[in-house]
Amino acid sequence: MYSGLMSTSERLIEATRELLWERGYVGTSPKAIQQLAGAGQGSMYHHFTGKPDLALAAVRRTAEEMRAAAAASLDGPGTAYERIAGYLLRERDVLRGCPLGRLTMDPDVIADDRLRAPVEETLDWLRGRLASVVEEGTERGELSAALVPADIAATIVATVQGGYVLARASGSPAAFDAGVRGLLTLLDPSADDRS
Amino acid sequence: MYSGLMSTSERLIEATRELLWERGYVGTSPKAIQQLAGAGQGSMYHHFTGKPDLALAAVRRTAEEMRAAAAASLDGPGTAYERIAGYLLRERDVLRGCPLGRLTMDPDVIADDRLRAPVEETLDWLRGRLASVVEEGTERGELSAALVPADIAATIVATVQGGYVLARASGSPAAFDAGVRGLLTLLDPSADDRS
DNA sequence: GTCTATAATCGGATAGAC
DNA sequence: GTCTATCCGATTATAGAC
């Protein structure tokens, strides 16, 4: 139940974000949203046309936050490797998974272009941003010249998204951390990578 | 609707596997299972105690299949790199995602130890099997000696699981393929990986 | 803006006839 | 083993009073 300092529509959006993260779109009912937001049915249907509309507002906000968080790691100073490492090693609520990525497993989200759009755009943006960092790294000689920026960017994002899967399967963040360590070893320009 | 050549309980399990893959546990109703299996409610509750019981049978079978498919790639001949590449590049229904991995985003699956167990065990087994291959590779000089087998194994599985996320977000297998290419570049012992 | 009432459908299951 | 009937709560709203 959220503070009364937030407006009703704000509380509804925040409650929806929370529940979408925890239970996904199919698993989140209007009633649960209303209870967590401390709002009645009338309020919800006054501010939003229905569950999809509210979910859209929630997903857009989550996408915004995710961009900002990634940019904070990637826009900083340091070598390409350091910025990528910073992104991979930043604090995460590993066992909760990615609030945006988890939605891709939701058939009702994938089937709705309006709901899928912010998810796609944000992951695309992230890959693009990482590809730029990798490209800078190869140009400056900080990373192997053999790397294809767009491919490595996809590998990095996939390792994070898949790391969540492994962590949730085992009930421990250890597998996520292992995957990240493995990727950093593979990227590390200072490691002796010859057999 | 499955062939009448299968027994009713077989059809129920296959229908459940299909729907769990497509819609997850929360999104799959007994009624939908019965319709797809061509079975009545009575049949379902005769053969299984309820939705969780049926889901358990379905998940166990899917886990078996996944192990067998991975083993087929990893147990073959070839260098460590070749076997890992074979596993990563084998044909997949990328846009459908991983039938086991997707369950980790389902809160009701994660909350139920009996349902989560086959998911955890199978992904653990896969990581272990890949770690063995990597270890063989480092010992034989086919892969960099700097690699920590368990970490690289986690990276490989995570790249696949996360690749599904990227593919589903964008509605195209391209991002999955890019992530795999990136990982193979990073693993490739013949690539010049010095800056 | 928020509340309560009402409603049609679905979800998950039990009971008992055949 | 399979079928139909029945049940109760949840889901996703709509209508209208306050």
Q: pLDDT tens-digit profile of A30-56?
A: 999 999 999 999 999 999 999 999 999
**Quick one: B113 exposed, middle or buried, by C-beta within 10 A (0-12, 13-18, 19+)?**
exposed
Q: pLDDT tens-digit profile of B119-144?
A: 999 999 999 999 999 999 999 999 99
Ordered DSSP codes for A90-156: S---GGG--TTGGGGG-HHHHH-HHHHHHHHHHHHHHHHHHHHHHHHHHHTTSS-TT--HHHHHHHH
Residues with CB under 7 A from strand C: A 8-9, 39-43, 45-47; B 26, 28-32, 41-42, 45, 49-52
**Quick one: A53 exposed, middle or buried, by C-beta within 10 A (0-12, 13-18, 19+)?**
middle
| pLDDT the model gives residue A194 | 46
B148: pLDDT strictly greater than 50 = yes
The pLDDT of A141-161, averaged and rounded, is 98
Whole-Å CA distances, A75 to B20, B58, B128, B193? 40, 46, 36, 25
CA distance B114 to chain A (A): 12
Across all residues in chain A, what is the average pLDDT? 96
| CA B182 to the chain's CA centroid | 20
Q: CATH for B59-187, among 1.10.357.10, 3.40.50.300, 1.10.1380.10, 3.40.50.1220?
A: 1.10.357.10
Whole-Å CA distances, B160 to A166, B88, B149, B169? 11, 7, 17, 14
Q: What residue in A sits closest to B181 (Cα-Cα)? A: A151
B63: pLDDT strictly greater than 60 = yes
B185: pLDDT strictly greater than 90 = yes
Q: State what percent of residues in chain A have pLDDT above 90.
A: 94
b/e map of B22-61 (b: 16 or more CB within 10 Å)? bbbbbbbebebbbebbbbeeebbeebbeebeebbbbbbbb
Q: Looking at the complex, does the CB of residue A27 fall below 8 Å from at least one CB of chain B?
A: yes
The pLDDT of B53-74, averaged and rounded, is 98
Nucleotide nearest to A43 (CA to C1'): C2
Q: What residue in B sits closest to A109 (Cα-Cα)? A: B169
Residues of chain A with CATH 1.10.10.60: 1-48
The pLDDT of A127-144, averaged and rounded, is 98
Could you identify the residue whose CA is nearest to the C1' atom of nucleotide D11? A29
| pLDDT the model gives residue A192 | 60
Sequence length of chain B is 195
State the count of interchain CB pairs (< 8 A) between A and B: 237
Rounded to whole angstroms, the distance from the CA of residue B191 to the C1' of nucleotide C10 is 57
| pLDDT the model gives residue B195 | 43
A185: pLDDT strictly greater than 80 = yes
CB B95 within 8 A of CB B167: yes
Q: CATH for A1-48, among 1.10.645.10, 1.10.150.120, 1.10.10.60, 2.102.10.10?
A: 1.10.10.60
A68: pLDDT strictly greater than 90 = yes
The pLDDT of A133-158, averaged and rounded, is 98
**Sequence-distant (≥ 6) Cβ neighbours of residue B167 within 8 angstroms:** B94, B95, B97, B173, B174, B175, B176
Cα dihedral: A26, A31, A35, A41 (round 10): 130
Report the CATH number of the A58-187 domain. Answer: 1.10.357.10
Query: Which pLDDT band, with edges at 50, 70 and 90, does B192 fall under?
Result: low
CA distance B5 to chain A (A): 30
CB B157 within 8 A of CB A179: yes
The pLDDT of A13-28, averaged and rounded, is 98
Q: Rounded to 5 degrees, what are φ and ψ at A150? A: -65, -35
Rounded to whole angstroms, the distance from the CA of residue B150 to the C1' of nucleotide C5 is 60
Q: pLDDT tens-digit profile of B79-97?
A: 999 999 999 999 999 999 9
| CA A53 to the chain's CA centroid | 21
| pLDDT the model gives residue B127 | 98
Beta strands in B3-160 (DSSP E): none
| pLDDT the model gives residue A41 | 96
Q: Looking at the complex, does the CB of residue A50 fall below 8 Å from at least one CB of chain B?
A: no
B4: pLDDT strictly greater than 90 = no
Q: State what percent of residues in chain A have pLDDT above 70.
A: 98
DSSP secondary-structure letter at A192?
A: -
